[in-house]
Structure 1
């Protein structure tokens, strides 16, 4: 083998290695986007849950600002001390807070509903007003770090459209990388096979 052949062989191997690295990164990114799509769009839609973004530091370190929390409906009787609930600051208003239940005030007379004393994990004192059942939006089911800021920018119907599009683009890119790698390997083998046949016939 000449120096030129050796250099070409080395360059070919380097290109092949870079191609495999790019392919692995593409599939890894595709898997990550698909997982996020399932956690942020599919599961909440199937279970009737709602995604909310933590925008303050009151629940650190459990839920830092920017965390996306998936809140599923919960019966008031199923709320326990230690549960992390999302509730309206005022009944019927859109503004909500996500804090931990630290005490349950049981009704003192028949017909009254229990109320929930809440507190942010990072706060020194409980919230001023107990939460009534009518304010309760649900209990935190699971959380996804950092995705909350994206959720604030891309929300509602737009999120349900954009994430599948991004996943589709990444899937096509990964497919292109696979095809390119296969074609490259065939091109690399073709000259070698042709050279072996010529030597045998001579």
Structure 2
């Protein structure tokens, strides 16, 4: 009987460790998904920012390929040397580049507009043409490593569905772990009570 009880106690301890490990991992993943959802969807929507994916190595090491940069609208007069901006290669066209401002060209005429010389951090030469204000989409506000690849695979409408779906599944998994652990503890208590009743039952008659 003592060996059986010891085996049951060891099994309970093992199940308890696995339960808390699984629960911790599920809640940790849930917190991670919620954080990513906030950084990629919620914050840009509230601040009217736009997420872009870095596709080339021109901005390494700060922004390697796969980095998701959140670009916030900026007033042209706030752009300084060192500001990382995202601009359209041609005004009104979807293709964009994210590079650092290395020089500001002031207008020659009073009613003229300034332009900006940009360069990738990993490039040896500046970009071919100065950037005009009409081309500028904004300045990089913050960046999230690696998430850009996911952003490229999922369009805007699907992104708003998939991340909450993953968070919901992780939440359900955490709930299932809690419920299953309680059910297992209830079964263990019932088994322990049954074992105690068996142990305290009437002893067999002993004859000389």
Does structure 2 conserve the Cα–Cα contact (< 8 Å) formed by 1:84 and 1:140? Answer: yes
Please list the CA deviations of residues 119-169 of structure 1 after superposition, one character each: whole Å capped at 9, or x if unmatched: 101011111111000000000010100000000010211111111111111
Does structure 2 conserve the Cα–Cα contact (< 8 Å) formed by 1:49 and 1:70? Answer: yes
- For residues 113-152 of structure 1, the aligned pairs below 5 Å read 113-152=113-152
Please list the CA deviations of residues 4-60 of structure 1 after superposition, one character each: whole Å capped at 9, or x if unmatched: 221121012101211110111100111111111100011111110000000000000
Q: CA deviation at 1:200?
A: 9.1
Does structure 2 conserve the Cα–Cα contact (< 8 Å) formed by 1:20 and 1:181? Answer: no
Distance in structure 1 (CA, Å) of the matches to 2:201 and 2:171: 46
The higher radius of gyration belongs to 2
Distance in structure 1 (CA, Å) of the matches to 2:23 and 2:66: 31
Q: How many corresponding residue pairs?
A: 202
Aligned to 2:14: 14
Distance in structure 2 (CA, Å) of the matches to 1:117 and 1:123: 13
- For residues 182-201 of structure 1, the aligned pairs below 5 Å read 182-192=182-192
Aligned to 1:173: 173
Q: CA deviation at 1:70?
A: 0.4
Which stretches in structure 1 are left out of the alignment for 5+ residues? none
Aligned to 1:108: 108
